[in-house]
Structure 1
Amino acid sequence: MADTPYQSVNVQYYNADSTIRFGGTLTLPQNKKNSPAVVLLSGTGMQDRDGTMAGHKTFLVIADYLTRNGIAVLRVDDRGVGETTGKYQEATTADFAKDALTSLRWLSKYKGIDSRNVGLIGHSEGGAAAYMAAAESKDVAFIITLAGLATPGLQALKLQNETIVNTAPISDQKKYRFNSINKFMFDTVYAHADSPDLEVHMRAAYREWQIKDSLYMVANPQDSADKGRFFFPMESYVMNATGPWYRYHIRFDPAPFLKKVDVPFLAINGDKDIMVNADANLNYIKQHTTANKNVTTIKAPGLNHLFQHCKECTNSEPFQLKEDFAPEILKMMTTWIKENTGMR
């Protein structure tokens, strides 16, 4: 951004065994020593360092605001994106947590950074990577999750897809069929996630569901006014579900990690988010962090998954919205970081 009152540096560094080179941008407050700092962690899907989603550079906006307020920020290309090497498709959330610690430890040693006050801010799945990293290492001084994934993987998949289906402009019959096949396939993958024959089990389950669906359609013929045929993307789902990320995700349970987090923890979820349900995820965080006396959970009104003030609050709307990121959340994060790092 032009005329910024801070320094912006392109950086590169490696993980412990030098198998991955990370490329990112570090923004540093001008004329300030021992700055608190954060690493930004992206959600599911390959993203660049600016967190470009639906045409919005979410992480660039966050980094700009925080650094203008005296907080250094490192934002990094995901594996296989930009200047970062590695294969994103072969990684799991556990790998992303390790990447987070690699970035945090590198940042802690950078000149001008207060190594005692370096934390993580994770969006969506990046929120899970943040508390997993904090559970593993004392190097993490604090964490902030934004629409952070904090329910078991199977529950998260079911709730997310039910919400998307039930808010879609389709007939009740199609909603029933989509919800039926999704639940059937999710339960199948969960049961056989560790099996080398997962695909075989998936295809058998799909054939079983097709028989049941045919009987349902005989008893409930499609309304002639209901245009558009029903389609479940079985081949792409098989390809996705048999990969390492999905196998890990569907069996993932946040509870053991959340219980180990003993650093300041701010969790913010938008109440209009149809990807990560605010109530379910914030309640799971509260339920499993009772031993930590510095946990703040906030359900932010009117905000979608990308923390935009939405109107229809559908998955397609973010492309049409001009707002990049809710200003009140930027201010909230800044105030909280200053309070929890003793920043003046």
Structure 2
Amino acid sequence: MKKTALLATAAALILSSMPLSASAAETAAYKLSIDNRTISFPDAQPYKLGSDVMLPLRQTAQALGLKVEYLPASKEAALYGPAGTAIVKSGSNQARLADGSPIEFGADAAVKSNRMFVPLSFFERALGLRTAVQEDTATAAIFTPEQTEAVVRAIVERLVAGEYQQLSDLYFDDTMKQSVPVEALKAGWEQTTATSGELTGTQVNQATSETPDQQQFVVQLSFAKAKAILSLNLNADNQVSGLWLKPIAEQAETPASLIEEEVIVGEGTKYPLPGTLTLPKGASGPLPAVVLVHGSGPNDRDETVGLAKPFRDLAWGLAEQGIAVLRYDKRTYVHGQSLTPDMLASFTVKDETIDDAVAAAKLLKADSRIDASKVYVVGHSLGGMLAPRIDADGGDFAGLAILAGSPRTLWEIIADQNAALIAAMDDGDPAKAANEALVAAEFEKALALAGLTDEEAKAQTVFGIPAYYFKEMDSRGADQIAAKLTKPVLVLQGEADVQVYADKDYVQWQEALKNNDKASFKLYPGLNHFFAKSADGKVEAQVVQDIADWINRP
């Protein structure tokens, strides 16, 4: 039997006739909340025992709508529902499911004042319900699947209505409030939906969750002109601990002049990544080739953002100029759900990006159709920042193209991006000053990164990101590595980019590469972070042409 929540079918039966006499030591009185509704118990109060909360079985089951029966022969209690049966006995911390399989929970079930009590963890582990202990209010909380889905729908309704502040106040946990300010939430939603039209329908699907205290939901959003996916993580208190919005761009047919092959980057390793190799059809002789390296976040191989697919545009455009292009799904896109909190605390750009980009370069160089001496890296945003390090750590490329990258530290850029969002807020908004103070405090923490030990960095965050991620990245700064480059480097920047800046990042690349006579630079008026003229636009043809000319130069 699948260990999921038992659904309501009938009134619970009284267990007061159970001839048991053991008792548990009460350490603190607690309340019970089911779906945020406080449940009253006239004669059997919940109490804290160790790290668990003991609940009267009959009354709690009754409040959940489950049928309960005492089994005199075995001195056990059985809970029934359409999903199956769970049987528990006083003095044991194991329940028996309908198929006979045992499942452990926390403290032993016990009898107190002629009532059977079971720990809150019984309802989580044996019945599959979501639970939480809220110490500040001395409350044991249980959430049913119906209530959790209602929370997800309420979140969607707030987004659609533009009630961003209320959404943050009511549903975000503390980390989300810090890492996703209201203005950023507003900008992300409105940028994504600007060209999508009216919302016409939603479909909520629960995804597989690694732990019961983190539930994952995928909401399919249908708009008049497009579709999108909203991914949500809810913690044990039904608060949002993670939120991602990904529009689904219309699929386009591969140009007839090209062929595309499915490949695996890092095949045989712990983190294999599906990818696509694009080649000009009928090309003869070894081809020059490009590895495309993504920006921040869990990107797919097309680096889909909104309705744009910049990596697909680059792959098709360059392949039409006789250049093979390899693009692949990022590690955090494919394997992100397998990363535990402990793993994320020590996660670095080496794990996230560098190792996989090096593996992609080796895959290309091993292909007999590719000229191994003419394999280039084209890194976008974070991928551009890391291009010099990828090259130094085993990529060994013929040249580096840096698109909207930066030689500055990542935390500096995040601070600038937050400052820009805050500056756009109304001066009368009381949240503006609070957000300014928050960003200033996080910036001060970032300035102290170099003085932290690795363990200290792993125990704290900066701008909502594990501090060790920044500390390790800072130890191999892009400007330091780039300054030593003597091979060809192409730096491209959109003048209208509001994520990295022409007057800061582009200028600093020129300074870092001033001694490299093979470095070239181009600034594009009117182009954004994705080298398009609009959020849902294609990469401009001139950008593709400039990269192709640089690679195919004599």
Q: Give me the TM-score of the superposition, normalised by structure 2.
A: 0.49
Corresponding position: 1:30 with 2:286? no
CA RMSD of aligned residues (A): 2.9
Shift of 1:262: 1.9
Aligned to 1:324: 538
Normalized per residue, the structure richer in helix is: 1
Match of 1:274 among 489, 498, 505: 498
Partner of 2:312: 60
Matching of residue 170 in structure 1 with residue 426 in structure 2: yes
Q: 1:260 aligns with which of 484, 501, 524?
A: 484
Distance 1:130 1:8 in 2: 25
How far apart, CA to CA, are the structure 2 residues paired with 1:289 and 1:94? 23
| 1:10 lines up with 2:262 in the alignment | yes
Contact 1:135 1:260 in 2 (8 A): no
Stretch moving more, 60-69 or 151-160: 151-160
Higher strand share: 2
In structure 1, the residue matched to 2:237 is: none
Structure 1 residue 162, shift from structure 2 partner = 2.1
Q: Give structure 1 stretches of 5+ with no counterpart.
A: 203-236, 311-317
Aligned counterparts of 1:131 and 1:299: Cα–Cα separation in 2: 20
C-alpha contact (below 8 Å) 1:38/1:71 kept by paired residues: yes
**Which amino acid in structure 2 is aligned with residue 27 of structure 1?**
T
**Partner residue of 1:19 out of 251, 270, 286:** 270
Greater Cα shift, 122-131 or 181-190: 181-190
Amino acid at match of 2:527: L
Structure 2 residue identity aligned to 1:170: D
Q: Could you list the runs of 5+ residues in structure 2 that have no partner in the other structure?
A: 1-252
- 1:136 positional shift: 3.7
Count residues with an aligned counterpart: 293
Aligned amino acid, residue 257 of structure 2: P
Q: Which amino acid aligns with 1:45?
A: G
Rg (Cα) greater in structure: 2
* Deviation of the 1:303 alpha carbon: 1.3
3-state secondary structure, aligned to 2:500: coil
Where 1:170 maps in the other structure, the secondary structure is coil
Partner of 1:303: 527
Q: TM-score, normalised by structure 1?
A: 0.76
How many Å apart are 1:307 and its aligned residue? 1.6
Aligned identity (percent) is 26
Q: State the alpha-carbon separation in 2 of the partners of residues 286 and 133 from structure 1.
A: 20
Aligned counterparts of 2:321 and 2:335: Cα–Cα separation in 1: 28
Whether 1:120 and 2:377 are equivalent positions in the alignment is yes
Q: Answer with 130-139 or 111-120: which moved more.
A: 130-139
Query: Please, which of 344, 348, 356 is the counterpart of residue 92 of structure 1?
Result: 348
Distance 2:449 2:518 in 1: 38
Q: CA contact under 8 A between 1:134 and 1:261: conserved in structure 2?
A: no
CA distance in 2, matches of 1:176, 1:242: 25
- Separation in 2 of the partners of 1:325 and 1:177? 38
Deviation at 1:146? 1.0
Q: 1:156 to 1:67 in 2, by over 3 A?
A: same
Give the secondary-structure state (helix, strand or coil) at the position aligned to 1:164. Answer: helix
Q: In the alignment, residue 331 of structure 1 is paired with which amino acid?
A: Q
Q: Is the 8 A contact 1:36 1:71 kept in 2?
A: yes
Equivalent in 306, 310, 321 of residue 69 of structure 1: 321
Shift in Å at residue 152 of structure 1? Answer: 2.5
Task: Report the CA distance between 1:291 and its aligned residue.
Answer: 2.6
**1:227-246 alignment, distance < 5 Å:** 240-242=464-466, 244-246=468-470
State the shift of 1:67 in Å. Answer: 0.5
Q: Which residue in 1 is equivalent to 2:156?
A: none
Is residue 2:352 matched to residue 1:130?
Answer: no
CA contact (8 A) 1:22 1:84 kept: no
The SS at the match of 1:12 is strand
* Cα separation, 2, equivalents of 1:146 and 1:104: 18
